[in-house]
Amino acid sequence: MISFFRRALSGSLISLAMSCLPAPAATVDTTFDVTITLNAACEINGAFNGDALGAGDLDFGTHPATIVSDIDADNAGTPSAGIAVLCSDGLAYDVGLDQGLNENLGVRRMAGTSDFVEYELYQDAARTTPWGDLASGDELSATGNGLRQTYTVYGRVPAGQAPVLVAPPETFTDTITVTVEF
């Protein structure tokens, strides 16, 4: 019988000890959503959505002032290497080159101190596909692949020009704006 009381007392002590322990913490939970909305986009040489567009320069080099044969150049070997476009995968886009700051009657021209040198821009090395403004029919059309796509600008200074030089050597310049429409 003592053994019975011992077990009963022992069980009571254990129950008493357990009742003195703190109750387990109660928990409640809820959920929340994590979202992001991404728009189709294009980037040019590190610019985003049209801000500060840039591309590699096109330098025809140094030549005699009497241009007796076509002078060709491209911007593939420049530090910016052509025009780099990054567009969302599957996004159709067009790349247009405006007529420059010195255009006259649809002819691109580089300006010097008192005269101009005409030039042309092309999409291909054979210089058969002109590169023009958006909606001109001469823009470059492509589809984004989610990776950087690079396009070389091919230029030509046509033969038969003899610009007037004020103080040789004289540098003639123009600025072209590149626009990507998507």
The verdict on residue 15 lying in a domain is: no
Spatial contact of 131 and 124, defined as CB atoms under 8 Å apart:
no
Residue 87 covered by a domain: yes
Q: What is the CATH number of the domain that holds 59?
A: 2.60.40.1090
Predicted confidence band at 9 (pLDDT cuts at 50, 70, 90)?
very low
**29 - beta bridge partners?**
none
- Which tokens hold the place of 88? 């969302």
pLDDT tens for 13-45 read 555 555 566 777 899 998 898 988 888 888 886
* Of 4 and 45, more confident: 45
Task: Look up the domain containing 101 and give its range.
Answer: 42-182
- Tell me whether residue 31 is in a domain: no
Q: What CA–CA distance (Å, rounded) separates 79 from 30? A: 53
The predicted pLDDT at position 62 comes to: 92
- The pLDDT confidence band at residue 12, using thresholds 50, 70 and 90, is low
State the total domains in the chain: 1
